[in-house]
Structure 1
Amino acid sequence: MNDPASDPLRAKQRLHWARAALGDAAATLQRASTDAGFRSYWRASSARGSHIVMDSPPSLEDVRPWLRMHDLLEPTGVRVPQVLAREPEQGFLLLEDLGIPTLARQINEDNADDWFEAAFDQLLRLQAIDVPEGFGVFGEALLQRDAGLFEEWFLQRHLGLQLDCGEVERLQLVQRRLMDNALAQGQVLTHRDFMPRNLMPVGDALAVLDFQDLVRGPIAYDPASLFKDAFLSWPLERVDGWLARYHARARTAGLPVPAWPQFLRDADWMGVQRHLKILGIFVRLRDRDGKPHYFADAPRFIRYLEEVLPRYTELAPLHDLLQRRIKPAMAEKDPA
């Protein structure tokens, strides 16, 4: 799929709108970043300084859900980018420039403890928000869709695997256990992509980005996302320690977390559910959306699965499938 941001007509509209919003006919735009969807971000330089223009083509990605979530989070103290001008019908927003780069490029072994404490500050504020009536739910339908992404896109389309009836049954059993675990957890406002790439350092605090898909969902989902993302990997023992620290702070804040052993299991299982989904999404981004670079991180998610699956006998059928069918198929398709 061609990049919609490169369309000459759209580029002309974007520059015209930015100059009008900034009140500077000499303002210029330079590509700042993209994401996995159809939005693009542009750094605007003008007499007013540096700002960010979000371009979300209305026919491809409606910007109004992003605005609704922004306007839900901002009054509660969750740090989000300030919106300085908006034209949702055209798909343009003018935002404050939070700078570069994201936390994913600034965090390291030495500063991770402090940065994850700052991430907890934002996450606990977000999870404490009362979920509005009629809000989207990370429930059975979304969980079933996620399970289908792994099977359709990763197993079938990428690896070309045709599972026999017994393998299908065992995989579905594990998927059912993962879904039941997610549905049984305490439910809170859930970002669904709360990871260092979507956190922006602002002084010694963090701003939260890419929040348009907020739903009511399981409390362990966002902590699992924070430590098991597509761009950074940490030793499992250190991840367990950070999860314990989050758990202690969440209990103090009165959030609906269970006792620690159950929470660790919830986070591990939520992570497995998410890893399977992401493997499917990476293939879909590559094959359907023309964004192949995400797939380079697929082996990272296989390693995440290999770390955690041996902890739980209930997930043994997936571990067996991974070792016996998935890893050999991957080695055959992409030999080192």
Structure 2
Amino acid sequence: MDAGFRSYWRVQSANGSRIVMDSPPDKEDVRPWLQVRDLLEAGGVRVPRVLAQDVDAGFLLLEDLGADTYLHVINGDNADALFDDAVTQLLKIQAIAPPAELPVFDEELLARELRLFDEWFCGHHLGMTLDCGDMDTLDGAYRVLIDAALAQPQVLVHRDFMPRNLMPAADGPAVLDFQDAVRGPIAYDALSLFKDAFLSWPQERVAAWLDRYHARAIEASLPVPELTRFRRDADMIGVQRHLKIIGIFARLNHRDGKPKYLADVPRFFVYLDAVLPKYPELAGLQGFIEHKVKPAIARLAAIVRE
């Protein structure tokens, strides 16, 4: 989510264009990126090729995959084909046995991500003061979401498998930004792909793509549950991710001075509005958003207009 310290530079050489990754060792160790890259490549996933490296200095020389990601080239006409190719890579990722040393998307991590919503969006961004009732409501909803995530079959999870992190390639797409991979819920990456942070699709197409992923996962002998359960799993982990990203975008604005991401926050409330009414166990969260968060958003917008 643009929160790291790595930078990329295109250079020209006698052998053509190359990309230099600069990952300052005191801020972002390049070793986790290399370890996950090697793990994915060994599993047949298309990842950027490393041509040279100076790990101690934090420099990598990579192949140049071009300037366009899926986010630049995808449209209503080519989305079916591009997403099908992306799912091919995703199935390879999920077939890789997560190493024992890989972090786990456990209760602590899930809860910490959810708290970004009430701390950074509700608190820092909207200036809301949450009372005991509000916190009880959120705690109850978070408990439902965490339990649902932990109950899913667990596989290798990219954690940001979305169009901005996929690049068109003849044998791809090539997968980027994988250094935060964990062992976690099987529905997470598929949901992230189709309910993107920066691009929205009609609900009917999203549902069809999720069903198509599910069918292909079964064919690949991956541990997906039956379809009805999978749809619920995708909805639940989607709510967790949407709340997290709303919080991250607020944090990027207030802590890191990157306000542009706030423009995409409404997209996630549209996602939430479509899912929350389906689940009575999330009625408290729906009411909190409808009766407290949305009025606070409207008040902030009125202040900004003035």
**Where in structure 2 are the equivalents of 1:1-336 lying within 5 Å?**
35-203=2-170, 205-335=172-302
Q: 1:163 Cα deviation (Å)?
A: 2.3
Instruction: Name the SS for the 1:43 alignment partner.
Output: strand
Alignment partners' CA distance in 1, 2:15 and 2:257: 36
Instruction: Name the SS for the 1:135 alignment partner.
Output: coil
Alignment partners' CA distance in 2, 1:292 and 1:185: 35
Alignment partners' CA distance in 2, 1:90 and 1:291: 27
Q: 1:290 Cα deviation (Å)?
A: 1.9
Residue identity in the other structure for 1:120: V
Is the 8 Å Cα contact of residues 188 and 234 (structure 2) preserved in structure 1?
A: yes
Q: 1:96 Cα deviation (Å)?
A: 0.2
Residue identity in the other structure for 2:245: I
Q: 1:325 Cα deviation (Å)?
A: 0.6
Q: 1:301 Cα deviation (Å)?
A: 0.9
Residue identity in the other structure for 2:162: M
Is the 8 Å Cα contact of residues 98 and 183 (structure 2) preserved in structure 1?
A: yes
Is the 8 Å Cα contact of residues 125 and 254 (structure 2) preserved in structure 1?
A: no
Deviation per CA, 1:92-113: give whole Å up to 9, x if none.
Answer: 1000000121001111111111
Looking at both structures, which has the greater relative contact order when contacts are Cα pairs under 8 Å and sequence separation is at least 6?
2
Alignment partners' CA distance in 2, 1:164 and 1:53: 49
Alignment partners' CA distance in 2, 1:279 and 1:45: 39
Residue identity in the other structure for 1:169: D
Instruction: Name the SS for the 1:189 alignment partner.
Output: strand
Alignment partners' CA distance in 1, 2:177 and 2:21: 12
Residue identity in the other structure for 2:215: A
Is the 8 Å Cα contact of residues 46 and 171 (structure 2) preserved in structure 1?
A: no
Instruction: Name the SS for the 1:205 alignment partner.
Output: coil
Is the 8 Å Cα contact of residues 6 and 21 (structure 2) preserved in structure 1?
A: yes
Is the 8 Å Cα contact of residues 69 and 165 (structure 2) preserved in structure 1?
A: yes
- Alignment gaps of 5+ in structure 1: 1-33
Displaced runs of 4 or more, over 3 A: none
Q: 1:204 Cα deviation (Å)?
A: 6.7
Deviation per CA, 1:142-182: give whole Å up to 9, x if none.
Answer: 01111211111011111111222222111110110000000
Corresponding residue of 1:4:
none
Alignment partners' CA distance in 1, 2:4 and 2:167: 19
Instruction: Name the SS for the 1:334 alignment partner.
Output: helix
Report the number of matched residues: 303
Which is worse superposed, 163-172 or 256-265? 163-172
Distance 1:122 1:135, change over 3 A: same
Deviation per CA, 1:293-330: give whole Å up to 9, x if none.
Answer: 22221111111111111111111111111110111110
Is the 8 Å Cα contact of residues 103 and 183 (structure 2) preserved in structure 1?
A: yes
TM-score by length of 1: 0.88
TM-score by length of 2: 0.96
Alignment partners' CA distance in 1, 2:76 and 2:55: 41
Alignment partners' CA distance in 2, 1:167 and 1:291: 28
